[in-house]
Structure 1
Amino acid sequence: MTPQDIAAKVGEVIGTSEWAEMSQERINQFADATGDHQFIHINEEAAKMTPFGGTIAHGFLTLSMIPYLSAESDMPRMEGIKMGVNYGGNKTRFIAPVRSGKRIRGHWKLTEMVEKRPGQWQQTCEITIEIEGEDKPALITEWITMFFV
């Protein structure tokens, strides 16, 4: 689709991803990569004593899954894209913990698509990361991506 075609979808849900497992191995790898070894993420025995009842994924791990989930989604693909970069977020809220072994998926609602300069498009989406079998989502964020075509 052209950027203009995508811009015509403002206000619509434009994609849903496949499910992805948040395994303990993934959580441990994220802890090692970031240096965040808080026991609620990596110590299964100690985490059982918390209200979570076991280990949980880091909120930032869940947030960092957005590019992977996006690639595994049915969102329309922009024609002629040279590069896409994360530009930032207007707001992010971590609503519910993702327990180790649970699966997550993303839903994208397009809230804005603006051509900032020729060939440079700024896309803002409300992204909801759902936890399989849970009533509350893991997180909701208003995320901005810059695309160069």
Structure 2
Amino acid sequence: MTIKTFQTLSDLAACVGQEVAVSDWITITQEQVNQFAEATGDHQWIHVDVEKAKKGPFGAPIAHGFLTLSLLPRFFETSVAVVESRMGVNYGLNRVRFMSPVPVGSRLRARMKLLSSDAIDNNGQQMTWEVSIELEGAAKPACVAESVARRYP
């Protein structure tokens, strides 16, 4: 695993307009899908009924779109670090699209491009990222999202 490390928030902010990091691949398991269903109450059969899903439109159970989206913090945590940053918080999402179903057993990774970085209170930075979550072997990403986060020194 390679983490792109920056000393300061300013060092990271200098990367606006660039792809900053690409995460490692992670495999989506049925256990993750089932745990997500329990946590959210979304027990739709295309996610949790393996036998029925095999006969369904995707030929297998698929991950919830919001499960795919919820991996954003993991992708960032394992790909980008700022030494002189004590914390970061999610601030929101500007746009999210689920473009390809994610079959259980498939692998995902994220490409993270820094779109903007603006100074905020307490010497922080509000950063907007374009995150493309790639589905291994698929022509289209599983998900593309604009993620807004705040980081503080």
Q: Normalising by structure 2, what TM-score?
A: 0.92
Q: Is 1:111 the equivalent of 2:110?
A: no
Choose from 121, 140, 143 the match for 2:144: 140
Alignment partners' CA distance in 1, 2:83 and 2:50: 46
**What CA distance in whole angstroms lies between the structure 1 residues aligned with 2:152 and 2:48?**
39
Q: What is the aligned partner in structure 1 of residue 17 from structure 2?
A: 11
Is 1:102–2:90 an aligned residue pair? no
Q: Is the 8 A contact 2:62 2:104 kept in 1?
A: yes
> What's the secondary structure of 2:34's corresponding residue?
helix
Structure 1: 4+ residue segments shifted above 4 A: none
- Paired residues in the alignment total 147
- Deviation sequence 1:65-98 (CA, Å, 0-9, x none): 111122222x3x2232121100001000000010
Worse overlay, 97-106 or 42-51: 42-51
Q: Where does residue 126 of structure 1 map in the other structure? A: 130
Q: Could you tell me which residue of structure 1 aligns to residue 70 of structure 2?
A: 64
Matches within 5 A, 1:9-88: 9-73=15-79, 75=80, 77-88=81-92
Which runs of no fewer than 5 residues in structure 1 stay unpaired?
none
Displacement of 1:7 in angstroms is: 1.3
How far 1:108 sits from its partner (Å)? 0.2
Q: 8 Å contact 2:36–2:67 — kept in the other structure?
A: yes
Q: Structure 2: give runs of 5+ residues left out of the alignment.
A: 1-6
Instruction: Give the 3-state SS of the residue equivalent to 2:82 in structure 1.
Output: coil
Which moved further from structure 2: 16-25 or 42-51? 42-51
**Alpha-carbon distance in 1 for matches of 2:122, 2:41:** 41
